[in-house]
Amino acid sequence: MVYERMSMPPPPFEHLGTHSFSFYPPIVNIEHNEWLLRRATWSEMLVLNVKTQQELWIPRRFLGEVSRVEDPVLIVGLSKELEYKGGKVWPHQRQVIEMPLAVGGGTWPAQESEPRAEPAPVVGIRLEPGEKRIWKLIGAVMLLIVFTGVLALLTSREGRLRPRTTYSNRDDAFLALRYSDDIHSIVLKLGQPGEDRFRDVPGEIQYRALWYPQRSYFVILIGTDRKDMHYVGAVDKDWNLLHSVPIPSGGDTASLVRGLKQKRF
């Protein structure tokens, strides 16, 4: 009996054509998330970063759903979080940081080769009244130095962070929002929106825009369905970026939010 080998066509990425697209979730260690398709083979897809002109081969086993339409932005889903390392993409491995033991929470196993010596006896030191005043003065000066240093650090840090957010609205309540916020926590922080615009296309990435007329800006969410959507940024009434947030896999949502257009909702 003779069996014929059937050839199955590769996943249909050819319809991407010359249209730019974004990966979701974005690739770790690559900040700009806008790509063009260069080549597609049976096992890999070669993509070009629009901003940096960097080329990457993405294995097909990591590629998921692709938006069937271009509006508001074309999305190519990834089945796993990927990170760029050593010129290639790899599955992202989250590092587990070992926390130190709390006070009174036990000790690490002893690894000393020799027995520990007995602690030295504590000898009381008696200070004269004049010496006490000198030590108090030194302590006060040290506290003042520490306080001044902390204040300078916080001031400089605020100055570095402030340019990342460009907005003209007096209302900046959106600065309290994070990627982990969903529709329920956003309503708790900002109140009920004046409008709730939702783009619902089965099998594609979903977008939601909450319009706050009293605040004069939109709050944008993205996710796979209505039950799993995350905050990605805020834009003003003219769709200028006001706020973006870092995401757990690395980078931030600025390029993704800029790619959306108000009329698409």
Residue 11: asked if its preceding bond is cis (omega within 30°), the reply is no
Residue 72: asked if its preceding bond is cis (omega within 30°), the reply is yes
pLDDT per residue of the chain (265 residues) written in tens, 0 to 9: 444 444 444 455 666 767 788 888 889 989 888 888 888 888 898 999 999 999 999 998 888 887 766 556 788 888 888 999 888 888 988 766 656 655 555 555 545 445 555 665 655 556 566 677 788 888 888 888 888 888 877 766 654 444 444 444 568 899 999 999 999 999 999 999 999 988 766 667 788 999 999 999 999 999 887 788 899 999 999 889 999 999 887 788 888 888 876 556 6
Q: What Rg do the C-alpha atoms of the chain give, in angstroms? A: 28
Q: Note the pLDDT of residue 121.
A: 60
Task: Give one DSSP letter per residue of the chain, joined into a string.
Answer: ---PPPPPPPP--GGGTT--BEEESPPBT-----EEEEEE-SSEEEEEETTT--EEEEEGGGEEEE-SS-SS--EEEESS-EEEETTEEEE--PPPPPPPPPTTS--PPP--SSPPPPPPPP---PPPHHHHHHHHHHHHHHHHHHHHHHHHHHHHHHHHHGGG-----S--GGGG--TT--HHHHHHHH---SEEEEE--TTS-EEEEEEETTTTEEEEEEEEETTEEEEEEEEETT--EEEE-B-TTSSBSHHHHHT--GGG-
Q: Note the pLDDT of residue 166.
A: 47
Pairing of strands 63-66, 55-59: unpaired
Give percent of the chain above pLDDT 90.
25
